[in-house]
C-alpha cells in the first residue's frame, strides 16, 4: 500500500513539474532559435503537455470545463498576434473581446446553473483584470534603465519570473482548498514558465509584453475556475490574483537609484514578489485549511 502511494506521488510530481518543464524547455529552444518573436509558444507547449498529463481525458473540441484551457492557449496566440499590430481602438477592442471569450469559455460550463448573466459578468471582470495586467506590465517595461545583456534579460523577464512564483505559490492553496487537479495545473504553469526561462536565458532571448500576458490569462483562468469548482473563497482567489500583479506594480513603484546596480534592482523586485507571494499563500492556506484538522 505504501509503495503504491509512493509511486502515485512520484508520478504526480513527474506530470506536474518534471515533464512540463522538459517539454517547455524543448519547445522554447526550438521557438527561440527559429521563431524568436514567438518564443512564448515554448511555455504554452509545456503547459498543454502538462495539461494532457494531469487531465488524461483532455479532448478537442472541448467536452469538459478543464478542456477549455487548450482553447485559452489558442486564444492567447491570437492575442499575441493582435498585439503586434499598430495601436488602434479596433485592436484594443478585439483583444479585450478575446480575453472575455477566454474567461467565458472557462466559466460557462461550470456556471450554467447560474445563468448566462453570471457567466458574462465573470468573463467581463476577467477581461478587465487581464487588460489591467497588460497595461501595468507595459508601463513597467518602458522604464528607461541602462542594462548589460545579462541584466537586460532578467529585467525584461521579471514579469515571467513573477507569474512563475505566483503560480507556484497558488498551487498548494488550490490543492488544499478543494481541487487537486486545478492545483496541479498551477504547478504545470509554474514548471512550464521555468523551462521557458531557462531556455530563454541560454539563447539570450528578450521578452515583450505580449509574451507574458498569455501566461497571466492562464493563471487567472485557473484561479477563477477554482473559485467555482473547488469552492475557493472569493477573498482567497483575489489574494492569489493579486500575487500576479506584484512584479509590475513593484517595477513601477520602485525606481532604481543611481547608486543601485541593475543586478541589485532585479534581485529586489524578485525578492518582493517572493515575499508577497509567500505571505499571501500562507494566509490563503490558513483560510482554506479544513477546519476538522485544526482540532
- Mean pLDDT in residue range 89-114: 81
Residue 83 in domain: yes
Indicate whether 170 pLDDT > 80.
Answer: yes
**Residue 292's pLDDT band (cuts 50, 70, 90):** very low
Per-chain mean pLDDT for the chain: 80
Least confident of 53-62, 77-86, 126-135, 180-189: 53-62
Q: What sign results for the dihedral spanned by CA atoms 107, 110, 111, 112?
A: positive
Quote the number of domains for the chain: 1
Q: What percent of the chain has pLDDT over 90?
A: 12
Instruction: Report the 3 state secondary structure along the chain.
Output: CHHHHHHHHHHHHHHHHHHHHHHHHHHHHHHHHHCHHHCCHHHHHHHHHHHHHHCCCCCCCCCCCCCHHHHHHHHHHHHHHHHCCCCCHHHHHHHHHHHHHHHHHHHHHHHHHHCHHHHHHHHHHHHHHHHHHHHHHHHHHCCCCCCCHHHHHHHHCHHHHHHHHHHHHHHHHHHHHCCHHHHHHHHHHHHHHHHHHHHHHHHCCCCCHHHHHHHHHHHHHHHHHHHHHCCCCHHHHHHHHHHHHHHHHHHHHCCCCCCCCHHHHHHHHHHHHHHHHHHHHHHHHHHHCCHHHHC
**Residue 148's pLDDT band (cuts 50, 70, 90):** low
pTM for this one? 0.87
Rounded Cα gap, residues 55 and 14, in angstroms: 14
pLDDT in tens, 107-126: 877 676 666 777 788 788 88
Q: What percent of the chain has pLDDT over 70?
A: 84
Give the count of alpha carbons within 13 A of 133, CB side only: 31
Residue 292 in domain: no
Residue 81 in domain: yes
Rounded Cα gap, residues 33 and 267, in angstroms: 27
**Residue 163's pLDDT band (cuts 50, 70, 90):** very high
Residue 166 in domain: yes
Residue 295 in domain: no
Residue 194 in domain: yes
Least confident of 41-50, 89-98, 148-157, 159-168: 148-157
Indicate whether 294 pLDDT > 70.
Answer: no
Q: Between residues 33 and 223, which one has the greater pLDDT?
A: 223
**Residue 180's pLDDT band (cuts 50, 70, 90):** confident
The grid coordinates of residue 186 equal 498551477
Indicate whether 95 pLDDT > 60.
Answer: yes
pLDDT in tens, 192-204: 999 999 888 888 7
Indicate whether 206 pLDDT > 60.
Answer: yes
Largest interatomic CA distance in the chain: 61
Indicate whether 287 pLDDT > 90.
Answer: no
Q: Could you list the residue range(s) of the whole structural domain that residue 151 is in?
A: 2-287
pLDDT in tens, 208-261: 666 788 889 899 988 888 887 777 888 888 889 999 999 999 888 887 665 556
- Mean pLDDT in residue range 118-145: 79
Residue 203 in domain: yes
Amino acid at each position: 500500500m505504501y509503495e503504491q502511494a509512493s509511486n502515485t506521488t512520484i508520478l504526480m510530481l513527474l506530470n506536474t513539474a518534471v515533464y512540463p518543464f522538459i517539454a517547455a524547455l524543448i519547445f522554447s529552444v526550438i521557438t527561440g532559435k527559429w521563431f524568436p518573436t514567438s518564443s512564448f509558444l515554448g511555455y504554452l507547449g509545456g503547459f498543454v503537455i502538462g495539461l494532457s498529463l494531469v487531465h488524461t481525458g483532455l479532448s478537442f473540441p472541448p467536452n469538459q470545463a478543464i478542456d477549455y484551457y487548450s482553447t485559452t492557449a489558442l486564444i492567447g496566440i491570437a492575442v499575441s498576434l493582435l498585439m503586434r499590430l499598430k495601436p488602434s481602438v479596433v485592436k484594443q477592442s478585439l483583444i479585450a473581446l478575446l480575453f472575455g471569450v477566454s474567461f467565458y469559455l472557462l466559466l460557462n460550463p461550470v456556471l450554467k446553473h447560474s445563468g448566462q448573466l453570471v457567466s458574462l459578468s465573470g468573463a467581463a471582470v476577467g477581461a478587465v483584470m487581464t487588460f489591467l495586467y497588460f497595461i501595468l506590465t507595459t508601463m513597467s517595461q518602458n522604464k528607461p534603465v541602462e542594462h548589460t545583456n545579462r541584466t537586460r534579460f532578467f529585467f525584461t523577464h521579471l514579469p515571467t519570473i513573477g507569474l512563475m512564483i505566483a503560480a507556484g505559490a497558488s498551487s498548494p492553496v488550490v490543492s488544499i482548498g478543494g481541487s487537486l487537479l486545478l492545483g496541479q495545473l498551477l504547478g504545470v504553469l509554474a514548471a512550464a514558465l521555468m523551462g521557458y526561462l531557462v531556455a530563454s536565458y541560454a539563447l539570450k532571448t528578450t521578452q515583450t509584453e505580449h509574451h507574458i500576458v498569455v501566461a497571466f490569462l492562464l493563471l487567472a483562468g485557473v484561479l477563477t475556475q477554482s473559485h467555482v469548482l473547488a469552492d475557493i473563497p472569493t477573498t482567497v482567489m483575489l489574494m492569489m490574483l493579486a500575487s500576479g500583479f506584484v512584479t509590475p506594480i513593484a517595477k513601477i513603484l520602485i525606481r532604481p537609484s543611481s547608486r543601485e546596480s541593475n543586478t541589485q534592482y532585479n534581485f529586489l523586485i524578485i525578492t518582493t514578489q517572493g515575499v508577497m507571494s509567500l505571505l499571501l499563500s500562507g494566509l490563503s492556506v490558513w483560510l482554506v485549511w479544513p477546519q476538522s484538522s485544526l482540532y
